[in-house]
């Protein structure tokens, strides 16, 4: 900003007790900090959002990463950016709002490259003033627990892009994978899109899709993660070319909110395929969720952790145990049965 003589981020790190060196990266907590002047903050808030058709700009770019993925993701992002001729100049991570954090922020600090500024903050209103001195060309968000404010999106000359866990526009929001299983989607995946004011609404730069299959979401993660670098490389190439992205079809948009607790209790009278999807949905929750559908089996409440549809006995009553083999159960449903190889006892609070 005009007249600025020092960086809030750098000056904060110089305060006694406010900063450390971890993994060779300079980092700070934004706790009770005064960042920038009121005039500077107002000027940042007045910046217009970057349009989604920036001119093509060759490398190198100065990139700031927003993430709470584990430290391995930081290493992958740095390697990808360097391979494309760009520089990771800053990382923003966060403990997250209550119930939404992953507890990975210290791992991210440790994984940050030497000389990279790292901001650990739960105060979105401070970020624009603290990041402005880094002069980012591009912001990349990948699994971040806060909505990134408009004044931050406006900082980089190329704009900001986001890696969303879910296929847009059908699965916006924090619980996209859970709803994909609940509704029986044939595919799951990731989307890279331009960031704008709306939640997960910006034009799409690329998608990664894999068949949902009959298994559980964690079984798909190795395949998905192996293909993420290619997805991000393609999206960055489109950014370099000035690609505005494909607008999302708002008529297909669905906000994947957290599940109501009423959906947790299994009704064994429903078809086995529906109960299977319910169990899979509760094991594919977004951040901060308490996994596992709950079923009453022989009078005991069980947290159901793994299931598979199998043949049942049409003469048996729903919820009855057709077979026991050690901990493995076969439970009759309204149509067919479920093999339950993994479960755990759970207490249900009295109403």
Q: Could you tell me if 41 and 154 lie in one domain?
A: yes
Q: Could you tell me if 197 and 266 lie in one domain?
A: no
Q: pLDDT tens for residues 104-149? A: 788 889 889 888 999 999 999 999 999 999 999 999 999 898 999 9
Q: Could you tell me if 216 and 174 lie in one domain?
A: yes
Q: Could you tell me if 138 and 265 lie in one domain?
A: no
- The sheet carrying 337-345 orders its strands as 293-297, 300-310, 337-345, 328-332, 321-325
Q: What is the DSSP string of 114-149?
A: TT-EEEEES-HHHHHHHHGGG--SEEEEES-SSPPP
Q: pLDDT tens for residues 196-248? A: 998 999 999 999 999 999 999 999 999 999 999 999 999 999 999 999 999 99
Q: Could you tell me if 62 and 198 lie in one domain?
A: yes
Domain total in the chain = 2
Q: pLDDT tens for residues 250-297? A: 999 999 999 999 999 999 999 999 999 999 999 998 766 689 999 999
Q: Could you tell me if 298 and 228 lie in one domain?
A: no
Tell me which residue range forms the domain holding 245.
8-252
User: What's the rounded Cα separation, in Å, for the pair 244 and 194?
Assistant: 8
Which of 228, 252, 276 is a domain's end point? Answer: 252
Per the listing, tokens 């059908």 go with 170
Q: Could you tell me if 335 and 219 lie in one domain?
A: no
Q: Could you tell me if 239 and 280 lie in one domain?
A: no
Q: Could you tell me if 173 and 318 lie in one domain?
A: no
What CATH code is carried by the domain that includes residue 93? 3.40.50.170
Q: Could you tell me if 96 and 191 lie in one domain?
A: yes
Q: Could you tell me if 186 and 334 lie in one domain?
A: no
What CATH code is carried by the domain that includes residue 281? 3.10.25.10
């Amino acid at each position: 900003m005009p007249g600025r003589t020092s960086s809030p981020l750098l000056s904060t790190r110089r305060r006694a007790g406010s900063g450390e060196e971890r993994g060779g990266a300079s980092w700070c907590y934004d706790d009770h900090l005064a960042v920038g002047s009121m005039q500077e903050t107002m000027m940042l808030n007045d910046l217009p959002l970057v349009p989604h058709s920036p001119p093509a700009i060759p490398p190198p770019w100065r990139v700031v990463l927003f993430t709470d993925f584990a430290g391995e993701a930081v290493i992958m992002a740095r390697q990808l950016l360097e391979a494309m001729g760009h520089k990771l100049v800053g990382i923003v991570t966060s403990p997250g709002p209550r119930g939404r954090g992953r507890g990975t922020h210290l791992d991210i600090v440790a994984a940050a490259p030497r000389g990279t500024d790292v901001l650990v903050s739960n105060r979105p209103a401070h970020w624009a003033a603290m990041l402005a001195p880094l002069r980012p060309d591009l912001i990349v968000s990948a699994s971040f627990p806060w909505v990134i404010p408009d004044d931050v999106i406006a900082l980089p000359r190329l704009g900001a892009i986001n890696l969303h866990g879910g296929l847009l526009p059908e699965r916006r929001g924090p619980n996209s994978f859970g709803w994909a299983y609940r509704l029986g989607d044939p595919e799951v995946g990731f989307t890279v899109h331009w960031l704008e004011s709306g939640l997960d609404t910006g034009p799409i730069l690329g998608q990664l899709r894999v068949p949902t299959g009959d298994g559980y979401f964690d079984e798909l993660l190795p395949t998905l993660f192996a293909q993420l670098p290619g997805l991000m490389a393609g999206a960055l190439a489109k950014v370099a070319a000035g690609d505005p992205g494909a607008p999302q079809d708002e008529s297909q948009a669905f906000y994947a909110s957290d599940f109501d607790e009423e959906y947790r209790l299994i009704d064994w009278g429903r078809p086995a395929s529906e109960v299977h999807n319910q169990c899979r949905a509760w094991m594919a929750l977004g951040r901060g969720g308490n996994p596992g559908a709950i079923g009453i089996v022989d009078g005991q409440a069980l947290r159901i952790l793994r299931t598979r549809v199998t043949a049942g006995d049409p003469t048996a009553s729903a919820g009855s145990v057709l077979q026991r083999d050690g901990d493995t159960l076969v439970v009759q449903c309204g149509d067919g049965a479920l093999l339950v190889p993994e479960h755990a006892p759970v207490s249900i609070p009295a109403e």
